[in-house]
Amino acid sequence: MDIDTRARKLFEAGVAAADPAAGVVGAMGWAAAEGPEPGGRWQVVALGKAALAMSAAALKALPEDTQALVVTNPENAETAVPRDGMTLIAGDHPVPGAGSAAAGRAILECLRALSPQDRVLALISGGGSALAVAPAPGLTLADKAEVSRLLLGCGADITQMNLIRQQLSELKGGGWLLASKAPVTGLILSDVPGDDLRVIASGPTVAPIGTRSRAAELCRELGIWDALPEAVRAHLGQGAEASSVPQGRNRLIGANGISVAAMVAQGAQEGPFALEGDVAALAPRIVALISEMAPGQTLVFGGETTVTLRGDGLGGRNQELALRVACAAEAAGVTGDWRFLSGGTDGRDGPTDAAGGLVGPESCATARDEGCDPQAALARNDSYHALKAAGALLVTGATGTNVADLAVLVRN
């Protein structure tokens, strides 16, 4: 097996281990143990990039009269064929749009129409924070979209992002529990490091991470307070605390660590650190490992990084990490044959059609031969076009799952 194929196969094994349908099937006995009361029914509400696969598996195990509201990303929704009793809505990602607002309204209307005799099966996966939005009173969709853009560009990690998002929303931070008269049971596929249920899709079925005052303080720490829409500053500045959130039943059915373990089971070794922090700081650490590795050694990593936006180029955190590794390795004069792959398990990295990048010793030189300066591309956050010029984009198509990011480092 050549070195490129080795890297791809390991990534594919990690994605396969995050099969959302298998996770739901394994948990349905627990989830359905507390069924509807007489006169009640099941209502499935699925949100996230894995919503279609999760809802399909759940509906096979529930009564035929079960209704399902499914919200997912456009790439997954465009090829889906909804079954009877299913309403399918495509939200917007990574910045919420009109589809996200429609999805948020539909979720709230669905939950508010239920009775105490009914039961809700909430199927939650990554991407849900943007795919469905319901701005808090006094805020607009444009306000929410601007906050998302600022958070994506300031280097905030996912926990910081979602703490702030929760305080601007009627859905997030336990919003589903507050809206529903029926008890809520959640099956959750984690796309965040540490698998904190409050963070995944901004925690619609659990209590919030923090408070409104903490969100305001965090916006100041991140340097985005003055750039926030005036209505958002006013809302966060009130400092009022949220209503007490009812208790829900939640169970984790898949996570990044499970995918990393599956890659290790294929003969790789887990790397000495996780994919975390800004890609500009992480790339040199990965490059330093290359020279230390023995011939034939393979390291795998999991997690989620951040990117600080300074330009108006096209890319995502995995593409920028891959390009930075290629540039740093070239600058350091690293010798030998090696490959570094970094990809999003959902198959989409940032607002592009690529999952990430797969680079090696010749990537930067190839990009220059094609008329693209990799360093200049990095300066404007344009990793997509640099990797495309190098023939180093990782394109998988939508995978139907999402457990954050995976990386593979191989040395021949």
pLDDT tens digits for 97-149?
999 999 999 999 999 999 999 999 999 999 999 999 999 999 999 999 999 99
Please give the single-letter amino acid code of residue 215. A
Confidence of residue 84 (pLDDT cuts 50, 70, 90): confident
Supply φ then ψ for residue 62, to 5 degrees: -105, 165
**Average pLDDT over all residues of the chain:** 95
Pairing of strands 298-303, 405-411: antiparallel
Residue 124 β-bridge partners: 47, 188
410 within 8 A of 298, measured Cβ to Cβ:
yes
What confidence score (pLDDT) does residue 156 get? Answer: 92
Per-residue tokens: 70: 């499914």
- Model confidence at 24: pLDDT above 70: yes
- Model confidence at 396: pLDDT above 80: yes
H/E element, 407: strand 405-411
Supply φ then ψ for residue 154, to 5 degrees: -100, 0
Do 258-411 and 19-253 have the same topology in CATH?
no
Confidence of residue 240 (pLDDT cuts 50, 70, 90): low
Number of neighbouring beta carbons within 10 Å of residue 45: 29
DSSP of 157-213: -HHHHHHHHHTTBSSTTTHHHHH-SS-EEEEEE--STT--TTTGGG-TTS--SS-HH
CA distance 277 to 271: 15
CA distance 238 to 254: 37
Cα distances from 332 to residues 191, 285, 320, 335, in angstroms, run 33, 12, 18, 9
CA distance 305 to 328: 17
CATH class for domain 19-253? alpha beta
Q: pLDDT tens digits, residue range 256-308?
A: 999 999 999 999 999 999 999 999 999 999 999 999 999 999 999 999 999 99
Is 0.75 surpassed by the pTM of this model? yes
Number of neighbouring beta carbons within 10 Å of residue 204: 30
pLDDT > 70 in the chain, percent: 99
Tell which residue, 325, 341, 353, has the closest CA to residue 407. 341
212 within 8 A of 240, measured Cβ to Cβ:
yes
Per-residue tokens: 192: 């965040």
- Model confidence at 81: pLDDT above 90: no
Tell which residue, 205, 199, 124, 200, has the closest CA to residue 163. 199
Please give the single-letter amino acid code of residue 100. S
How many separate helices (H) and strands (E) can be counted in the chain? 17, 12
Measured in residues, the chain has a length of 412
> Where in the chain are the domains?
19-253, 258-411
Confidence of residue 23 (pLDDT cuts 50, 70, 90): very high
What confidence score (pLDDT) does residue 241 get? Answer: 65
Tell which residue, 349, 328, 348, has the closest CA to residue 338. 328
CA distance 348 to 59: 27
Choice between 27 and 81, residue whose per-residue pLDDT is larger: 27
DSSP assigned state of 247? P
CA distance 96 to 129: 8
Domain 258-411 in CATH 3.40.1480.10? The answer is yes
Q: At what angle do helices 256-264 and 3-16 cross, to 10 degrees?
A: 140
H/E element, 119: strand 119-124
- Model confidence at 243: pLDDT above 80: no
Please give the single-letter amino acid code of residue 304. E
Q: What's the mean pLDDT in 232-254?
A: 87
Sign (positive or negative) of CA dihedral 371, 375, 380, 386: positive
